[in-house]
A and B are shown apart, each in its own frame.
Chain A
Amino acid sequence: MKRAFGALVLVPALAASQPAPAAGQDAAHVFRGAYLLPISSPPIESGVLVVQGGAIVAVGGADLASPPGAVEHDLTGRVLMPGVVDSHSHVGSVSGGDRSSPLHPDVRALDSIDVASDSFWRARAGGITTVNVMPGSGHLMSGQTVYLKLRAGGRTVEDWLLCDDPLTDVCGGMKMANGTNSLREPPFPGTRARSAALVRGLYHEARAYVERQAGRADGDPPAARDLRMEALAEVLAGERIVQHHTHRHNDIATVLRLREEFGFRVVIQHGTEAWKLADELAAAGVPVSITSIDAPGGKEETIDWTLEAGAILERAGVDVAFNTDDFITDSRLLLRSAALAVRNGMSRAKALEALTLAPARMLGLADRVGSLEAGKDADFVVLSGDPFSVYATVQQTWVEGRLIFDRSNPEHRRYAVGGHDVYRTTAEEEAVLRRLLEGEGG
């Protein structure tokens, strides 16, 4: 019989005086003694993580020796896991396309990000280190998403990008949506079939563009730039992943049909009824990023929502992630979504992966983030206990070897618990954001 109340014994707080390493420091940092969850390999009791130059140098058991001159961190009694990857969020005051069209492949979320937004503190306090910030679902295609790393001391969005140069590189995905959110007065579609027809027309236009570009000879005069077609060419080439808002089984089937026709890489976002198409999704190798709420409904197309979705998809062999969809759910509580999936039959291992390595794959970033492996970015979270316990708290969040959230610092702690004048984004402002993003009510 499990013991009720107080079964979790918390260890004393971390020593407050440990130095925070800075980027570029030569010294290695060794985190020793925690229950280590590398994700890509089995858990390690009393594990050791060695970090240097922003990257992971080594992961091992208690016998792993520290490099000479390393700074030691005693994490006895703690849990250490990779930084959490949120594959669907609206933090940072993000915006996308406007009402002029239902299709905005040229619009970049990165041009709207407010790096000073307090919403990024929610994410840090929740252990999130990498986040896919998306424009909303009020359009069939609301724009290019942006993948951000919440590095210490960000001053512009460039400081947080996972690409080198937004002028030349793919720095995020392509946000698409179907179902009811994007149904509106013309020029927006009024039906589901019209939605699909508009999208197909655009992709055929892009395919023709790609063929024209391929047919150009070296001596031809330079073609006029086309920002819309350039972004869609990246999608057709599989370089820019489609992040597709979709809830209902028939809308999910439509996404699979579009993928079949155009061959793009796609992640099912929300996927409320993905559990009904688990076998089809598994066969197609299409992953699902679940937004976990706490009751069915909120609108007609989410009435068949279930907490068992994670378990059903796992059993079918579908790659599953959990996202916050922040402001829909709170970035401070993303671990909770995975915990509730475990309650409803998902394995602990897959639920942990669904917070880290699985979403990293869905963003095409698994070579850099999502697991504790030598050579990967030194992004990790230190917890006071079991990540799936409500009583466990995020003690520290580290990005590329630097501490970006420290619960023992009162200035940081207030972002974990809230309070007066902590968050500037109010419920009313979130309601406005909601209308902007989801296209609800004009």
Chain B
Amino acid sequence: MRGLLTAALVGGLAAPAAGQVAVRAGVLHTVAGAPIEDAVVVAAADGAIEWVGPAAEASVPAGVEVLEAAVVTPGLVDAHSVVGLAGALNSDVGQVRDQDQLDKSAPIQPELRAVDAYDAAETLVDWVRSYGVTTLHTGHGPGALISGQTMIVKTRGRTAEEATIVPARMLAATLGGAVSSNFRSPGTAAKGVAMLRAALLGARAYGEQVRRAEEAGQDAPAPPARDLAREALGRVLSGELSLLVTANTVTEIGAALRLRREFGFDLVLDGAAESYLLLDEIRAAGVPVVLHPPMSRVRNGSFETAAALAAAGIPFAIQTGFEGYVPKTRVLLWEAAIAAANGLGPERALAAVTLDAARILGIDERVGSIEVGKDADLALFDGDPFEYTTHICGVIIEAEVLSRECR
């Protein structure tokens, strides 16, 4: 490909704007539609995609850099991670402490904001971006009934503010034994659900108190003192935030669905190792799944769960999750590859780490596919992205070329 760019491609009327960039792809996986052979994407200086189509019809302003790659996909969207709160050193002591995804002082802490902990300079942010992840749903991790809030970032920027595209997106909840290993209470799975129900009921009552006070106007009793925890839970009850429930067993998934029926919140199932045993129930509830990384050794996990969810018509995305000790599931590309090779197929696997993930996160207007008007987030490859021996040869976020060497 390199060096074959024809003069016909270049020479539009408009002068190039600073920061504009174009990419020519042997195969362009827009994910929004069928792959396009020999295609061009033009990114505007404001970071949006300006033009997509066959190279033969392309008109790139003179002077605009044109990167070339055999295969181009949307920048990858990791549907759930703790990168930026959890760091590479996996140290929770002393000056090199870099584990901020779980506070163990109380089992329910919905008031913990991810933006207050996200380290934009963390090594792992660069690492995951170098393997194609441009959008990261990150924040508080599994291990508490409610560990805190999650956020959505682009994998660039010097501060949380620069990186953030959604400052609060979900509350991270966990059901089952994983919680009891971190807290004296809940000591059982049933106690954990009871505590969550009580917390949600308390938030509902608090919300009503606040509303009554607002409606009554000047004659009202004093409104209740600000309660950050109940306010955050209230945002789940109002549908403003989703509840991301880590539930791996049939029992835990069942409890999550039951909680949703009782409180009517927007549920996203996380982990969902045994989801293949409850496909009908999950589909009937219309609940999306953010599947555990296929290579994580979760109990009863299967390389074929992604394929089972796809066949059942359940919306799902693949995540990298978190493994602190000896990193094994940090590269989203290779997790999706295992699903691709185990019944899902590469096209669906790509969707599970781009557009389908963006839909579950509610940011598909902006990222997840290569379409005019969307963010110019692109990943460049020299072959099938899922092949172990293929290299990623460029990562672009909002028209900014962040890497261009093959690795």
The answer to whether B127 has its CB under 8 Å from any CB of chain A is yes
One of B15-23, B352-360, B388-396 contacting the partner: B388-396
The answer to whether A303 has its CB under 8 Å from any CB of chain B is yes
The answer to whether B154 has its CB under 8 Å from any CB of chain A is no
Does A344 lie within 8 Å of B407, measured CB to CB? yes
Residues of B within 8 A of A193 (CB): none
CB distance from B64 to the nearest CB of A (A): 22
* Bound CA span A336–B384, Å: 16
One of B110-118, B192-200, B330-338 contacting the partner: B330-338
Known contacts: A294-B330, A300-B96, A418-B303. The answer to whether A6 contacts B70 by CB under 8 A is no
The answer to whether A70 has its CB under 8 Å from any CB of chain B is no
Q: Which residue of A2, A3, A298, A330 contacts B325 across the interface (Cβ within 8 Å)? A: A298
Residues of B within 8 A of A425 (CB): 297
**Nearest CB in chain B to that of A424: its residue:** B299
* Bound CA span A430–B296, Å: 12
Residues of A within 8 A of B391 (CB): 343
Of residues 335 through 388 on chain B, the ones whose CB sits less than 8 Å from some CB of chain A are: 337-338, 340-342, 346-347, 381-388
Q: Which residue of B181, B303, B324, B386 contacts A298 across the interface (Cβ within 8 Å)? A: B324
Does B71 lie within 8 Å of A4, measured CB to CB? yes
The answer to whether A40 has its CB under 8 Å from any CB of chain B is no
Does A417 lie within 8 Å of B303, measured CB to CB? yes
Residues of A within 8 A of B342 (CB): 417
Indicate the member of B277, B328, B347 with the most A CB atoms within 10 Å: B328
CB distance from A141 to the nearest CB of B (A): 22
Number of A interface residues at 8 Å Cβ cutoff, please give it: 48
**Nearest CB in chain B to that of A431: its residue:** B325
The answer to whether A284 has its CB under 8 Å from any CB of chain B is no
* Bound CA span A80–B376, Å: 44
Known contacts: A4-B27, A294-B334, A300-B89. The answer to whether A419 contacts B384 by CB under 8 A is no
* Bound CA span A339–B384, Å: 14
Does A390 lie within 8 Å of B297, measured CB to CB? no
CB distance from A434 to the nearest CB of B (A): 7
* Bound CA span A421–B300, Å: 6
* Bound CA span A419–B297, Å: 11
The answer to whether A328 has its CB under 8 Å from any CB of chain B is yes
The answer to whether B209 has its CB under 8 Å from any CB of chain A is no
Of residues 79 through 93 on chain B, the ones whose CB sits less than 8 Å from some CB of chain A are: 87-91
Residues of A within 8 A of B389 (CB): 339, 342-343, 388-389
Residues of A within 8 A of B30 (CB): none
Q: Which residue of B71, B303, B328 contacts A328 across the interface (Cβ within 8 Å)? A: B328
**Nearest CB in chain B to that of A421: its residue:** B300
Does A330 lie within 8 Å of B70, measured CB to CB? no
Does A2 lie within 8 Å of B123, measured CB to CB? no
* Bound CA span A297–B388, Å: 21
Q: Which residue of A4, A7, A339 contacts B26 across the interface (Cβ within 8 Å)? A: A4
* Bound CA span A430–B382, Å: 37
**Nearest CB in chain A to that of B28: its residue:** A4
The answer to whether A340 has its CB under 8 Å from any CB of chain B is yes
Does B341 lie within 8 Å of A390, measured CB to CB? yes
**Nearest CB in chain B to that of A292: its residue:** B328
**Nearest CB in chain A to that of B300: its residue:** A420
**Nearest CB in chain B to that of A332: its residue:** B303
The answer to whether A234 has its CB under 8 Å from any CB of chain B is no
Interface residues of B (CB under 8 A from A): 1, 26-27, 29, 35, 70-71, 87-91, 96, 123-124, 127, 177, 181, 274, 276-277, 295-304, 324-331, 334, 337-338, 340-342, 346-347, 381-391, 407
7 A-B residue pairs with Cβ-Cβ distance under 8 Å, sorted by A, are A1-B70, A2-B384, A297-B124, A299-B89, A299-B325, A418-B301, A427-B299
3 A-B pairs with the lowest CB-CB distances in the bound complex, closest first: A297-B88, A339-B388, A2-B383
